[in-house]
Amino acid sequence: MFYNNPLLVQLKQKLHNRATRVEGIIKSTEKGFGFLEVDSSISYFIPPYQMKRVMNGDRIIAKVKLEKNREIVEPEKLVEPFLKKFIGSFQKKHNKFFIIPDYPYLKIPIICSFSKDIVFSFEDGDWVIAELVQHKLRGEPCFQAEIIDFVSKKNNAFLPWIVTLKRHNLEINAPSMNNSDIEFNYDLTRKDLTSLEFVTIDNSSTKDIDDAIYIKKTKKNNFLVMVAIADPTSYISEDSKLDKIAFKRSFTNYLPGFNIPMLPRKLAEDICSLHPNVKKPVLVCEMEVDSHGNILKKSIVFFLGWIMSKAKLEYESVSNWLEKEGSWVPQSNLIRNQLLWLKELCCTRIQWRKKNALMFKDRLEFRFHFSEEKKIQKIVLEKRTIAHRIVEEVMIMANICAATILAKKIGYGIFNTHKGFDKKYTEQILCILKKNNIYYSEQEINSFDGFCKIKRMLDSCSNDYIENRICRFHTFSEVKNVPLPHFALGLKKYATWTSPIRKYGDMINHRLLKSIFLKKIVKKPSDKVISLMSNRKRRYKTAERDVIEWLYFLFFYSNNDMNTIYNMEIVNLTRSGIRGKLLDNGAPVFLPISFLNISKYDVICNKEEGIMYYRGKEIHRVSNFLKVKVSEFNKSTRSILVKPVLEKR
């Protein structure tokens, strides 16, 4: 009744004449209009004619106006452009040059010029790096960019990998080295273990083999375990050229069908790699584990050694033999005994961790299979086998031993930590638990023991919905230079050292562990080192996700299969639709609200509950499943759109 009230309209006009200004982020839509998001709950409409002056992601200051009795904003000042240095594809039209940014909702051609250093001859579709040099909101006549570097030809088989790595400013090649860059330290005393039956268990394609295991039973029927780890720090001195390269990269970057090593390949895959029947220098952790799975702390010792792996075993073959399947058999009775004892130890430790720590929940993992031309042939579910669990349990034990020694002897190192729940969400967590008749106190859920108790309870009740709602409030795992608990593992301290070929933090821990028994001082890792490694890890994870999504899009787009029915798990619910994951192959997909054949105006999406309601009735919730078919593809966002399959009655 007040909508068209003249007095109300007049009052609104007076208020807006005071020129209210707001600051926020531009969010564009495919229909031309957009919104200025001031915070999570306030946004203003931007009409299409005003959107032509800004880009998605720009941070701006805008004037709030009343137009046709509706609040809109008029962009006034650019605070920070979204596009600065960016990647995109080159295009030539009517003797003019353009670059199309590789970002969703930013697929408009931007006129471009060339840096004076650019001499490459570009063709339509080639990929380049550019810098934005003109922006309309700065009073300049148009958006304009300058091409500063070449990325890739449009028909490059490695295009998804190269473009993604370049976008995140990550290396695309392995580091190089000269023989003079390494010098092995022969002065250190090493124990000769070459006669022992050490074995390695890896994928068939693994070249950078960094761990070998030996096990035997003691007179007390305990397990005596030796974990031998490749020793690159005996070739790479601290602050040397290769050490600085490893520090900068921090990790080997593993992507589907492609990896970029932290160390030069000759070092990672040849010199340091624990290939069978070759004498190799190692750092060894020896420990004794009783029949209940307890690591006897007084038994833990680290030392330098020489080993000669007796066999490079593969996960699939070992698992098949232990499960009495397949034709493969161990090459000797000694190796046979190693595998049987390792399986026994693994089962014992799993039971120990169920009671005294926390277990990982198996997640579906998928492997892309490529042709030589890097075409995706198939996507296969990678099953976790008993052999995977054997190696995982032994490495966890070795890392617990490292954390124990580092914490006790020097009090610092590179420690993996996790704080449990984010305390600012305590009230929401308690509310979710209470709604499901689960009662804990604020003190309990924020304590180490309480977190573990809740996690074990959720694992036992197998309620994916509650777990999904609770997991949102976990903090992120962090790397620290002092020992702190790792709530998510259920361990009071944890420090990895078993992958020094692949992780710089493990190289640091090698040096620190050596310093203890060699009685040499190695300084505490600085906050700068911690910060750089954490930043690198985030960028690698983001790049991996982007490459995987691109590869899924290419696979589905090339197959163009609109008939196969898939099972989709609901991952997230939004006002615009349902984000899901196909259980058959792991592909991320999107089901638009318009495909549900219901009025979007009658839909309420409760993000806190993770439930979608239609006219007051629940219709979908996260962790539930839907049967879907591929419907169409959105090239600009590389999205796979699906539609629900109606079940026959």
Catalytic residue selected from 58, 102, 208, 231: 208
Q: Under a CB-based contact definition with an 8 Å cutoff, are residues 224 and 354 in contact?
A: no
Active-site residue (options: 44, 103, 105, 315): 315
Q: How many other C-beta atoms can be found within 10 angstroms of the C-beta atom of residue 365?
A: 11
Of 58, 102, 126, 202, the catalytic one is 202
Task: State the number of CA atoms in the 13 A half-sphere of 398 facing the CB.
Answer: 28
| Residue with the two structure tokens 């190192």 | 413
552 is catalytic: no
Selecting among 265, 502, 511, 638, the annotated active-site residue is 502
Q: State how far the Cα of 350 lies from the Cα of 344, in Å rounded to an integer.
A: 10
Q: Report d(CA 433, CA 510) in Å as an integer.
A: 43
The span from the CA of 191 to the CA of 284, in Å, is 9
Q: 224-249 burial, b for 16+ CB within 10 Å, e for fewer? A: bbbbbbbbbbbbbeeeeebbebbbeb
- In Å, what is the CA distance from 565 to each residue of 579, 582, 642? 17, 10, 10
Q: Is 149 assigned a catalytic role? A: no
Q: Determine the Cα–Cα distance for residues 321 and 330; give it in Å rounded to an integer.
A: 8
Contact 589, 582 (CB under 8 A): yes
SS3 449: helix
Q: Which two tokens stand for residue 576?
A: 């615009």
Active site residue 367: no
Question: Among residues 486, 561, 87, which one has the least CA distance to residue 496?
Answer: 486
Alpha-carbon distance 606 to 620, whole Å? 11
CA-based Rg of the chain, rounded to a whole angstrom? 29
- Whether 202 sits among the annotated catalytic residues: the reply is yes
Strands 588-592 and 603-606, bridge-based pairing: unpaired
A 10 A CB-CB count for 165 gives 24
Token duo for residue 22: 């707001």
Which of 58, 126, 210, 546 is flagged as catalytic?
210
E-state strands within 115-165: 127-134, 144-152
- Catalytic residue, from 211, 231, 243, 506: name it: 211
HEC string of 605-646 equals EECCCCEEEECCEEEEECCCEEEEEEEEEECCCCEEEEEECC
For 615, other C-beta atoms within 10 Å of its C-beta total 10
Catalytic annotation, residues = 202, 208, 210-211, 315, 502
